[in-house]
Amino acid sequence: MNRKEQLIEDIQNLLNTYENVGETSINPDLLAFMDEDTLINIIDSLLVQKEEVTEANMEWLEKFKKHNVK
């Protein structure tokens, strides 16, 4: 597997880590025209989005705990 194929697989795997979302399968031909830097930027964006969702969930959980602990 070459580097681009690995990056495309990494993108697919990241997409499949989202809860309540069906399994994602990416046709490699759709991303094959992109260079490695673009694919890496997609991975970075996905990681940032995942981190933001996690942080938002933790904030909600903390608020929930505070409201229910009286």
| pTM of this structure | 0.69
pLDDT single digits (tens) 18-67: 766 677 777 878 777 889 999 999 999 989 888 887 777 777 777 776 76
**Domain of 24, in residue numbers:** 3-68
SS (H, E, C) the chain: CCHHHHHHHHHHHHHCCCCCCCCCCCCHHHHCCCCHHHHHHHHHHHHHHHHHHHHHHHHHHHHHHHHHCC
Report the domain count for the chain: 1
Whether 21 contacts 15, CB under 8 Å: yes
